[in-house]
């Protein structure tokens, strides 16, 4: 059974595991426009993580985001600095959208 989580904006959150997060994990909404990253934090109720939206800055040295697509390198670095996991499907979507936005 795949788990489904919903953001505060009522969009499904990309989640590629059949279990709740074991560590704080970054993901994105399953939506055409991203306004930030989604942080899923484990809670005492395994199937119901705490969901927090983290808006990303558009004006950042080197360009953090292009047209609602965050730079995958900044996302990876952010996860490393904060000791967060990055959902693998979310990472693939981030890379794909950023690549397309960069080429447009």
Q: How confident is the model at residue 87 (pLDDT cuts 50, 70, 90)?
A: very high
Between CA 102 and CA 88 the distance in angstroms is 21
pLDDT tens-digit series, residues 49-81? 889 998 876 544 456 778 889 999 999 999 999
Q: Where are the domains of the chain?
A: 5-103
For residue 30, what is the DSSP state?
S
**The pLDDT of residue 59:** 42
pLDDT tens-digit series, residues 6-28? 999 999 999 998 888 999 999 99
Q: How confident is the model at residue 92 (pLDDT cuts 50, 70, 90)?
A: very high
Between CA 9 and CA 2 the distance in angstroms is 21
**Model pTM greater than 0.75?**
yes
């Amino acid at each position: 059974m795949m788990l489904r989580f919903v953001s505060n904006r009522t969009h499904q959150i990309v989640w590629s595991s059949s279990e709740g997060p074991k560590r704080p994990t970054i993901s994105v909404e399953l939506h055409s426009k991203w306004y930030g990253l989604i942080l899923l934090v484990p809670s005492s109720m395994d199937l119901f993580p705490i969901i927090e939206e983290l808006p990303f800055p558009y004006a950042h040295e080197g360009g953090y985001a292009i047209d609602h697509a965050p730079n995958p390198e900044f996302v990876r670095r952010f996860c490393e600095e904060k000791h967060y996991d990055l959902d693998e499907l979310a990472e693939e979507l981030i890379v794909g959208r950023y690549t397309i936005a960069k080429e447009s």
